[in-house]
Amino acid sequence: MWYKILSITIFTSAYILFFIFPNKRSLSAFVCAVICLATGTIPLREALYAIDLNVLGIFVGMLFIADFFTVSKCPAYLATILAHKTQSVPLIFLSICILTSFISAFVENVATVLIIAPICFEITKRLNINPTILIIAIAISSNLQGTATLIGDPPSMILAGYTGMNFIDFFVYHGKPGIFFAIQIGAIFTLIYLYFLFKKFQAVSEVEIERVTTWFPTILLVILIALLAIASVFEKSLLTSPGLICCIVAMVGICWAIFSKKVSIRKTMSELDWDTTFFLIGVFILVGVLSYQKLTNDIAEFIFQTLGKSPITTYTCLIVISVILSGFVDNVPYISAMLPIAKLLAEKGGYSPTLLYFGLLIGSCLGGNLTPIGASANIVGCGLLRKKGYEVSILEWLKISIPFTILAVVPASIFIWWIWK
């Protein structure tokens, strides 16, 4: 019992530190993980076993590919093509959000915001428009579509790692529509909302088309997606694991960068999101402590006794709680901790855990849109605006994010319930 109390205290303390010091989250996770090892709440062997190397492989591999994709200027080219062919500002802004959504389904959300934000600043500068609304829109749009595929966002990667889902499973799982289609239904409602949000901007201006420096990273990204799709039809093994595939494709990209000299590897290595990589390692260990101490079973039993056997009650409460919590705390440790609990709840209730898995992913990912600190993409967007001299108040963010989140979560959740109840 003493070890259980100590474990939950350390885990809760880590969460509080993530909230108070969002820029030091990897350090907080590592310190708390070391404390767990030092106090004996988890043995070293179990801690190492808890680290999901497949998820880390996907994430790190995608970091390199996303950086090469950005440097190639292909995303900027696509954005300026859309803006050039569109004559109204609302449609220009909406087109940029659609492009952001498309890219974020295959590239990590923070990378997506970093890809698109410079184009947003350039376009709004030429149109003499405050960029705040557009930057907020691309941040929350990236969080939405990052949920749709295995390689879009760390929570999706964590879900795939825990359940053994492959790339195709996010589209069709056990013969039924997967999470991808639920997100698209929510996206339709959010795009209508964003159009009316942008409608007050009516100026028209020509936008100069960006030139692509090289198409190789784009080809590499397409090959990666194809390989992940092909690997999905084979039996699960080391050779078909998404993590290994992403790392191999990233190595091809690194070799290309070295020999072509079109990208500075030293600069790429220094600017990659290593903070989130180490954060993931720390979180895996902390969640491993909960499993090792059987705390997930205790939490699942408490929730089951509180909510009962009703699938719709459990499903709805899980989504609502996830949305609220993820607006203030990082969704990576949250979903990592909640997946085994969701599985136990479904087993106790006698229904498929997929219902709760997808509900958990919807709530934890889309709930991150609520506040400026709810997701890494939001923090990055606000930081970029601050560098340009624009401060974003919480109220200003909430005015945009609350309607967007509701319009995304409700239709997507109804769709998942209808398919997987």
For the chain, 421 residues long, give each residue's pLDDT as a single digit of tens. 677 788 778 878 887 887 777 677 788 888 888 888 888 888 888 888 878 787 678 778 877 887 787 778 777 777 677 666 666 778 888 888 888 888 888 777 777 777 777 778 777 776 778 888 999 999 999 888 888 888 778 888 888 888 888 888 899 998 899 999 999 999 999 999 998 888 877 655 566 677 888 888 888 888 887 887 777 666 667 677 778 888 898 899 888 888 887 777 777 777 776 777 787 788 778 878 877 777 666 666 666 677 767 888 889 888 988 888 777 666 777 787 788 888 888 888 888 889 999 998 998 888 888 877 677 778 778 777 877 788 777 788 889 989 999 999 999 999 999 998 7
DSSP bridge pairs for 173:
176
Cα 334 from Cα 247, distance rounded (Å): 26
Q: What is the predicted pLDDT for the residue at 403? A: 92
Dist. CA 372–CA 380, nearest whole Å: 9
Quote the number of domains for the chain: 1
Q: Which amino acid is at 261?
A: K
Tokens at residue 82, please?
């859309």
Which one, of 384, 318, 323, 321, lies nearest residue 351 by Cα? 318
Q: Is 20 exposed, middle or buried (0-12, 13-18, 19+ CB in 10 A)?
A: exposed
DSSP string, 294-311: THHHHHHHHHHHHH-S-H
Q: Is residue 172 classed as helix, strand or coil in its secondary structure? A: strand
**pLDDT value, residue 188:** 93
Taking a C-beta distance cutoff of 8 angstroms, is the pair 248, 64 a contact? no
Nearest residue to 123 (alpha-carbon basis) of 98, 166, 91, 169? 91
Helix axes 132-146, 354-366, angle to 10 degrees: 170
Helix (H) or strand (E) holding 176: strand 176-177
SS3 label, residue 173: strand
Rounded distance between C-alpha atoms, residue 151 and residue 66, angstroms: 11
> How do the residues of the chain divide into helix, strand and coil, expressed in percent and rounded to 5?
75, 0, 25
Q: Give the CA distances from residue 174 to residues 170, 184, 279, in Å, rounded to whole numbers and listed in that order.
A: 10, 19, 32
The whole-angstrom separation of Cα 347 and Cα 353 is 7
Give the residue among 11, 14, 12 at the shortest CA–CA distance from 24. 14
Residues in the chain: 421
pLDDT of residue 83: 67
Rounded distance, CA 389 to CA 134, Å? 15
159's CB contacts (< 8 A; 6+ apart) are 165, 335, 339, 357, 360, 361
Q: State the amino acid at position 63 in one-letter form.
A: L
Instruction: State which residues form the domain around 12.
Output: 2-420
At 262 the three-state DSSP class reads: coil
| Sign of the dihedral through C-alpha 108, 110, 114, 119 | positive
Rounded to 5°, angle at Cα 219 from 218 and 221: 65
Q: How many CB atoms lie within 10 A of CB 183?
A: 30
* Amino acid letter, 314: T
Q: Which two tokens stand for residue 84?
A: 């050039």
